[in-house]
Structure 1
């Protein structure tokens, strides 16, 4: 069994609390002890240090002044590295030939401190060093992290030893961990040099600075290692302002923050919690004092290349070359440019003339382009529009520039496309105040429509109805005007009716409410102006749904005013198959009753859940209108109703809605009801569905709606039918400003 002899803790380093104060030391404080400089935050005199833990003493020994930190003589202090070099005591364990026993020589001590002390044993610069041919020592941090380490050094013959080699034969060195603030040593009593004392009477152990040690075989054969400096060797301590890192300490700059110089930086300690202060790059001095970091005059050593001139700057320097030379790759070379400058003068003059001519041509072309834009502006009715806008107070209508709309759509990038149709393409744009809008680039129109465009835009811009998509403005400086609408995010009525699992997601009362709101919007459109504004392409995909799933009729921005003469009997509206008024197809005369017919088809979609037009089957089976009218004629309404509708509402309500749809689909436009009458009847039917005597409970309109996917196959088959969100579109919101 091996028994370790505990050497104990001999001398205790001064280790008081190191929390700094805000006071600045007097200029009369002693800053030198012997040959060692004592920089602040350390001090010798009272009130000359940052805190008690930084107090040192200056003692006279053998007629020489020496600074001490407790019992350890201080060799040097580094502010930049945050280190202090002290002399540590060597433990010697020697064989006494008289007593034939191993005995300790000199002072048996380790090193002791407290967690609040500024000091930690440097794990980077120190090594636990053991010397001898039969030595076993244990180093322990019993009051700290509980670290224990062992140093073993053995040898059989003196010839085995090699100068400068400390790898276990006669000498060993062991690293220590971080955050150690004390240690003590123990030695095994069973290890002795009684058998080899002729050339190795003593063994030694000490924690010391690795850089200051080089093994010599004389350390084993003599007592030379223990004879210098009274048995002491250098050891390195890491010091810092403890308990706080920089990010916490810097927040208390008016209190205990130690980095007082304006040109200083805080550096976290690499050995335990705490921080140090350094001067910023280009400065040197004491960062713990106000204005302690001063600018370094780098030009004293002239770091510039041969022939260069150094100019000191605050925190740095710059180099320049004498006249006729220039700095290239840190070398002052002959300035070739200056030499050939005169020769190139004529060439430079010619280049300048060419640039002037080029820019002159550019200006001329830009003026021509602006004139073309102004011509378009006049053609598109700008004077009429501006005159009326000045006379109408509070008219919320904006005339945008082409540059504004290009910027808001990333130059009409394809990723911004919301939909395409026969009358143009709709893009999502973001205008000022991060407001989303729908921007519609119309397809080419004829000259007659260009002349009337200003009047139509003026009328449409003043339409303010909750169930009509608001026209916010337009751009007139392009050949074909660009329209700007409000952005409506929640898809279309088409997607609600024909999406996947629609029977489980949409209540009939919700569809009835949306139809009523759409009818109100169309009724307002027909009655607002004289002559009326005709939509011309009423369909479920042109009924948008806002964030509350309120209906908003869209795509009327390029609708026409009701024709007043034969010249206007021109097909300006392409419409959509399945919704087109048969009377319009025969007469080419578009009226408000044409919108009524198209709305009747929407009512059929709500009742039947079917598409207005199928691409297979017989002629009668393709048209939803013909299928419905045939069922009504045979008094077989139940055959065409969708199953979940029959389960939600009374037949009285459904038959009333079917009768309304039938009247809207009358082949003769004069026999059809007006849009206002349609809206009033839908309002009556809604009240009927919510009457307490009704047989079926009607869900409220505030229910949560989950919009299904649109039926893209049907959309893609029809020329001019508005497309939903493209498969390649990255835009998340499915808004449906579909161009006609």
Structure 2
């Protein structure tokens, strides 16, 4: 008996001694949970690289890596992801009028922890070169490095959220870096930067934790640290090498990650468990039923690492929504069938009676609703005010247009634009048409007016170079326009598609320009009410199989009362083609179309787009670049190389001078579209006199509106003073002396 008592006392004392000698490991510091393989002492962590020190000297708890002197503050830990977030220092390079004030380039030696590729390296500044070098593993030759350059000037376009090299730049971080040295330099000591903070900054930051703002160039001095992500693994052995060794950490409900390909190994909780996979038995079962992350139709029962589903009484199956589900037993099916059939029979009788009574009234009300919703009342008022509707325009039923487009099949889509989608359709009489479904999903008053505006404008236009309106449909929720189908695409497709082997020759381009000018001249001065297109561009100039131009898309157009020369309106159009005077004053005039047409002329001459951010800054705006090149006598260098010219013909010189007058800043200094059309008619007539085969090569004889004699006569009348001779003479008499040498 005494022996048993002595043994019990020894056991108790041994347990107390073991408890007394067990290391005390802190579980948290501040808002950060400290969990193995990290620890607050050497006995608590996997190795010294995972040591965490909790500093309380300032009155609050701050976790640091290693000893307090490291200054690497830990902001978050995630053992399940093998990641830890630290607050890394921001490098800076500041100057004043006397020279360098301060330059800091932080470094990092992370040991077993590696710089995660989920970070990015960012530099901020207007005179900045930033780069870093780092080492992979223990290989002395395993150095990697990269960086970026950030520049900007007083005229630079700075964009929030963009780190493309203007004010801010960024690069990806290579995989597996264990250290880095950062270098930050200025090209000109910020000597030419007076509007911004004369400092450069560079830092590593976790993706998604930093979004550039233009204000960063002014007030980033107060930011000293940014969140940076480190990742890690255990040891240097792979899963297969480490699993049979002492100290292997993936135990219990934890497994070794076979997909991880870096040095060392990582543990993950098996499916259905969560917790710290590096602590034995810390991966706990997830109760999917309580969390609602199951697919049971009726009842969910939790099981270790999974869950099962149970059907209610009278049903059988696996009970899962993504499986066989729950199916009623035979007796249950019979009961349900009898109840449902009785209810359905009763409801059928009631619904049939109600349907017969309400069908006619419902159809009438629905059509009336859509008619009013789609601006039918507004259209009637406009027709009565503006005159009779085009006799040839037809109001189509929705059934006709569904059959024509195979129920609006996506394969019938021709194009999508700001005002709707265009479908190719075949009517019952085999006419091929284009059917435009306008975007009126929000049913706003402005959108309805745009649709009615297009209908009214089309109804008043009768010109061979303007797309012809055939009809409309107001019976649907989204109204429709039906107009002639133009088969050869847009002018933009032909002049900007570099892969197009059949590039437009100069004589075809000149004829297209002439026909477009005639159409716009008709809209401005020959239509019953003057019409300003307001969106003249190659995308809105269609071509038929004979390359005859057709002006289209009048969704932005405006009718100008006869007694007015201009109209105050919100600016609308396409960048690169907008009249600068209209942009500044909001006063829309027919000279706004003249400016846009001038840009189209330049595109025909150069084959370049009106606005392109892929070109150098001085060439970004085509109109400005063209005018500058013209002034410098470098016309030949900017002409479309697909024209295959050995010299600049006189016709191109005349058209270039005409484009220059159209692009003048003040509208009063520009010619009218009528003058532009007559000038182009004269140039075309002159070229036909020199090369009479132009007509037979590129014009269908039956469809051509002009003969050589008629065009020549028009040109001679124009020179004699019958129509704006001052404009014609001033342009045509610009000899080749100022242009021909510009090659």
Q: TM-score range by the shorter chain?
A: 0.3 to 0.5
Structure of greater Rg:
1
The higher-RCO structure (CA 8 Å, 6+ apart) is 1
Q: Which has more helix, going by share of residues? A: 2
Query: TM-score, with normalisation over the residues of structure 2?
Result: 0.43
| TM-score, normalised with respect to structure 1 | 0.44
